[in-house]
Amino acid sequence: MTTQPGTPPTHRTDHRTDALRAATTDQTWDLLVIGGGASGLGTAVEAATRGYRVLLLESHDYAKGTSSRSTKLVHGGVRYLAQGNVSLVREALHERGLLKQNAPHLVHDLGFLIAAYKWWAAPFYGIGLKMYDLLAGKLNLKASRYVNKAQALERTPTLKKQALKGGILYFDGQFDDARLAITLLRTLENHGGVALNHAPVVGLIREGGKITGARFRDQETGQEHAVHARAVVNATGVFVDDVRRMENPAVKPMLSPSQGVHVVVDRRFLPGDSAIMVPRTDDGRVLFAVPWHDHVVIGTTDTPLPEASVEPRALPEEVEFILKTAAQYLDPAPTRADVRSVYAGLRPLVKAAEGTDTKSLSRDHVIRISDGGLITLTGGKWTTYRRMGEDTVNRAAAQAGLPQRLSLTAGLKLHGAAAPDTHQADHWQVYGTDAAHIQALPGADTPLHPELPYTEAEVRWAARAEQARTAEDVLSRRLRALLLNARASIEAAPRVTAILAEELGRDAAWQDAQVQAYRELASGYVLN
Ligand SMILES: Cc1cc2nc3c(=O)[nH]c(=O)nc-3n(C[C@H](O)[C@H](O)[C@H](O)COP(=O)(O)OP(=O)(O)OC[C@H]3O[C@@H](n4cnc5c(N)ncnc54)[C@H](O)[C@@H]3O)c2cc1C
């Protein structure tokens, strides 16, 4: 099951079948992690690199939840600084620096311009951002600085010119969230951990009042299996309360989900080399317009929801709000017809007292341990996933009586981490050292679709090396086609499915069902 870093699968392997076999061998794992988003993968990598035996179970696919639907920033959170949450920002800035060192193929520096249209705006934000620089300490990126009107327009030529005074330029990191999740999966496997997708946990196992394992269903066969572990971590994002209720149906919910929406438009709406940060929208939030994979991601919103769902959908008023706010800053401004994709993600915000506004709920992570020993990890953000994993494994090891071992992840290069001089300017960059192996596969020169940057070889690779099982796994998270251009991704689905069928040994009926299922899902990302 374990592949060594740099050992590419050169022939067809059914990666997931191996993982299923390993998951169901009769043994007691040191750690069972439920959920394959940032929190679960971070925890599993932390445990495996300390030498603990770890199994991760994911109900759908890695990063299917919130972890593929972020703003794509590796950041300290300028907004939390404005709220006075200095220690949270310092920790996140430290993690930003570590992630850039450990995954240089997935994280790069990006300039963010705060445009000033009032005389006081530049000095006001400038002081705050100097503090942001200072809090990053040795790991700071480039220092923030004032820019005049001409410099601001050089960096962001489509910025509205009328009344523009200049602005503040500061730096944060940018990344590809789902690709980081897949990179963590590969890192986990390189260190002997086992992870299985399409494997929902459907119940917990309790012996003598203690949680000692879980039952999961293999979605591909419908079979249920039991697994045993010394410690069980619930890292199911906005679904943590569902898993907590498997232990105690009467438990009080700890989360209050809030939805954040983004729209994706063509790069021509923000053609320079910088992002735009709007520090205060009409509803008191921040809004970003960020260049990403030759497109622009614009968001987000903060809409409290009564309950969580697997496929949250943007509300019409959220899209309208984003486009209206963008139009205050961009000229030309994107309209509904320009939106290539719209996606929604759910924030796992830890509940506060009745009547609290979700904008002010905790963005920090929380670890809660139940009477039966179920360890629930939630909150936080992608940027701090490593620290969340470290804290969780410390707690789990203490609770399960595992031998104490030091964390190694602060200096751990993630799978594929490439030397800086091997940087590729195109979409191959996210694969790091794997890129050369993929480019040697059949179809490396065959585009999947004229409006998408991807090739057929990447689909083969996703099936062979990255546990992709469905058209959605490939088009949404191994490649980012669903977010970049939902319509084009629907058109690419039949070819993707045919390649997957070849790789995984599936028949025509399976292909038809896949294409149909993908069309239905992706139509929810198209603005009509
Ligand atoms: C709109 C928005 C923008 C954001 N932008 C940023 C950003 O720019 N930078 C940043 O650092 N952070 C950002 N965040 C925060 C960050 O994305 C989240 O904190 C993080 O992704 C949460 O990860 P998670 O693993 O806790 O949850 P999830 O990613 O939701 O993962 C939970 C997983 O558990 C699985 N699961 C659920 N039930 C079960 C079960 N019974 N059995 C097995 N598996 C199960 C789900 O399928 C899911 O994959 C943003 C969040 C939102 C909502």
**Structure confidence at residue 424 (pLDDT):** 72
Q: What residue's CA is closest to ligand 1, atom 6? A: 70
234 by DSSP, 3-state: which? strand
Q: Does 70 sit in the ligand 1 pocket, CB within 6 Å? A: yes
Which positions ≥6 away from 486 have C-beta within 8 Å? 340, 341, 342, 522, 523, 525, 526
Ligand 1 neighbour 173 (Cβ under 6 A): no
> 447 Cβ partners below 8 Å, 6+ apart?
453, 454, 455, 456
Give the residue, by CA position, lying nearest to ligand 1 atom 37. 236
Give CA–CA dist 124/166, Å, rounded: 13
Q: Which of 55, 68, 70, 79 most suits a substitution to test ligand 1, by most atoms within 8 Å of the C-beta?
A: 70
- pLDDT reported for residue 3: 40
Give the per-residue pLDDT at 123: 82
Q: Which of 407, 387, 410 is nearest to 397 (CA)?
A: 407
Its pTM stands at 0.96
Atom of ligand 1 nearest to the CA of 40: 25
> Is ligand 1 within 6 A of the CB of residue 389?
no
Residues in contact with 186: Cβ distance below 8 Å, sequence separation at least 6, in sequence order: 3, 415, 416, 465, 466
pLDDT value of residue 292: 97
CA separation (Å) from 93 to 90, 312, 347, 456?
5, 30, 20, 38
Q: Report the nearest-CA residue for atom 1 of ligand 1.
A: 260
Cβ-Cβ contacts under 8 Å for 405 (sequence gap 6 or more): 50, 51, 52, 397
* Rounded distance from Cα 384 to ligand 1 centre (Å): 12
Compute, in angstroms, the gap from residue 476 CA to the centroid of ligand 1.
Answer: 15
Of all protein residues, the one whose alpha carbon is nearest to atom 10 of ligand 1 is: 382
- Residues 412-416: contacts with CB within 8 Å, 24+ apart? 412/45, 412/49, 412/102, 412/187, 413/102, 413/103, 414/102, 414/103, 414/106, 414/180, 414/183, 414/184, 414/187, 415/5, 415/183, 415/184, 415/186, 415/187, 415/190, 416/105, 416/183, 416/186
The pLDDT of residue 203 is 98
Number of C-beta neighbours around residue 99 at 10 A: 23
Ligand 1: which of 43, 66, 94 to mutate, judged by most atoms within 8 Å of the beta carbon? 66
Burial (CB count within 10 angstroms: exposed 0-12, middle 13-18, buried 19+), residue 467: buried
- Joined together, the tokens standing for residue 446 give 């065959």
pLDDT value of position 13: 57
**87: CB partners within 8 A, 6+ apart:** none
pLDDT at 6: 43
Q: Is the CB of 201 under 6 A from ligand 1?
A: yes
Q: For residue 335, give both structure tokens.
A: 């309209």
C-alpha of residue 73 to centroid of ligand 1, in Å: 14
**Ligand 1 atom closest to Cα of 202?**
41
* Distance from chain centroid for Cα 47: 20
Residues 100, 129: Cα–Cα separation, whole Å: 20
Mutating to test ligand 1, I would choose from 236, 349, 377 the residue with most ligand atoms within 8 A of its C-beta, which is 236
Distance set, CA 340 to CA 65, 240, 337, 487, 523 (Å): 20, 32, 8, 7, 11
236 pocket-lining for ligand 1 (C-beta < 6 Å): yes
Name the 3-class secondary structure at 9.
coil
416: left (phi over 0), alpha (psi -120 to 50) or beta: left
**Cα-Cα-Cα-Cα dihedral of 432, 435, 438, 439, to 10°?**
180
Judge whether 29 and 229 are in contact, CB under 8 Å. Answer: yes
State whether the beta carbon of 382 lies less than 6 angstroms from ligand 1. yes
Token representation of residue 507? 């028949």
User: Cα(509) to centroid of ligand 1, in Å?
Assistant: 33
Q: How far is the CA of 343 from the centre of ligand 1 (A)?
A: 14
Q: What is the pLDDT of residue 26?
A: 85
Q: Burial level of 367, CB count in 10 A (0-12/13-18/19+)?
A: middle
Q: Beta strand 258-266 with 303-304: parallel, antiparallel or unpaired?
A: antiparallel
Give the pLDDT score at 5: 44
Split the chain (528 residues) into runs of 10 and give each run's mean pLDDT: 43 77 94 98 98 98 98 91 85 96 96 92 85 90 94 96 95 97 98 98 97 98 98 98 98 94 98 94 91 97 95 97 97 98 95 56 81 96 97 97 97 90 80 96 97 98 97 98 98 98 97 98 95
Question: Which of 177, 239, 254, 342 has most ligand 1 atoms within 8 Å of CB, for mutation?
Answer: 239
* Residue 426 buriedness (CB in 10 A; 0-12 / 13-18 / 19+): exposed
CA 506–ligand 1 middle distance (angstroms): 30
Give residue 68's pLDDT. Answer: 98
Degrees, nearest 5: CA angle 57-428-176 = 50
- Quote the tokens at residue 85: 């949450």
Q: Is the CB of 105 under 6 A from ligand 1?
A: no
C-alpha 179 – ligand 1 centre gap (Å):
14
